[in-house]
Every structure is written in C-alpha cells, then in structure tokens.
Chain A
C-alpha cells in the first residue's frame, strides 16, 4: 500500500510569490491534515479536511489556504510569501478521528 505522497519535495521561492503544494493520501483515507514544521515552533497544525470540507483550522493567517478534491487529494496554497514561511510542510492522512496520522516526507519550502 502506497504511503502519503507529497510534491514537490523542495521549493525555492522569493518573497511576495505564491506557492501550491500537493498531497495524495493513503488509498481509502478521507481525512487529510497539513502541518508546518520549523526548528523554533515545532509542528504546528494548519488545517484538516474530510470529504472536501475543512473541519478545523489552526492559527495561521488567511494567506494559508487549502482544499480537498473528491478523490481525497489535497492542495495547500500560500500567497504573498514571507521569509518566515520557510519551513517543512507536512501532509498526513488518517482513516478517521482518533486514528493515527500517517505523514508524507514533506515539502521543504525556502523563501528568499
């Protein structure tokens, strides 16, 4: 069974640009979550989707957005990039509430 797939693996952008990250969950998983990981803040929750609906959102500015498609694949978008957005963005999928999250390898975003 294939794991969670995230693309691209690495991204370099400049301030003010926007970026879209993609995530394909484990087959059969309908819940997809996104996390930001930085050395200073650790893992911070961004948002969670289930059946194309956002069920929960973390404390991030509106520049961070996401969506989920009918095949459970998900994308997240960051507009007007800032230097502080440099981080590892992790996608995780789950089979349901209370069940373990399985993480992808992440997208390492560098904003110059």
Chain B
C-alpha cells in the first residue's frame, strides 16, 4: 500500500524566514508526486507535479524537489499569504488515485 508521510505537522515562520517541508513516500512505481496548497474551507489548489528523481520545479517563492524516497517543498522568504496547509500526494504507476499525506500547516507571521 502506498504511504506518504509529511513533516513537520505544523510550522510557524516569521515573514522572510525560509524553510523546507518534507514528504517521504513509499510507492510501487511512481507515476507522479503532487504538491497542493489548501486554505481553510476550500479544496486543494494544485502547485506542482514531479515525475522523476532529480526533477525540480519553481513557482514564485516555492520550489519543489524530488528524490527516489522523498520530496521537499522549499519556501523562500515567505509572506503571510503563504500561510496554508501544504499537501503532498503520490500516484502509483498502475493506479489512478492519489494517496495523500496528512499535510503541513504553515503559519507565516508578519
């Protein structure tokens, strides 16, 4: 069974204080690893898809990287509007569903 573990559970940052979120996974053949952002009361918002080890993607202050066992989401010089729960999910090569981690709740104080 696919397993996704995210750490830490919660992260409190000062505005401008860069940090990283971790997503470790176990899957029998990775088709893709996905990062989402979710605000309270809303559905997850797609951020990135990573397909193979060594791949990196960037969007504004966010950068996602992938190895064979884990992915990192780096937040550079965060702003209060980056406060959200960040979810990681994997899709196995022989499956269509996403298996999600529990998420990391990020709070950025001004």
CB pair B31 A101 closer than 8 Å: no
Q: Which residues of A line the B interface, CB within 8 A?
A: 4, 31, 33, 35, 42-43, 45, 48, 50, 55-56, 58, 90, 92, 97-106, 108
CB pair A98 B31 closer than 8 Å: yes
Give the size of the chain B interface in residues (CB under 8 angstroms). 24
Q: Which residues of B line the A interface, CB within 8 A?
A: 31-32, 34, 36, 41-46, 49, 51, 87, 89, 91, 95-103
CB pair B95 A100 closer than 8 Å: no
CB pair B96 A33 closer than 8 Å: yes
Chain B: minimal CB distance from A3 (Å)? 9
A42 vs B43: C-alpha distance in the bound complex, in angstroms?
A: 12
CB pair A56 B42 closer than 8 Å: no
Supposing A42-B102, A106-B43 touch, asked if A97 and B96 sit within 8 A by C-beta, the answer is: yes
Chain B: minimal CB distance from A107 (Å)? 10
Interchain CB contact (< 8 A) of A105 among B31, B43, B87, B89: B43
CB pair A45 B101 closer than 8 Å: no
Q: A-B pairs with the 9 shortest C-beta distances?
A: A103-B43, A43-B100, A45-B97, A100-B46, A42-B102, A98-B31, A103-B44, A48-B96, A56-B96
CB pair A98 B32 closer than 8 Å: yes
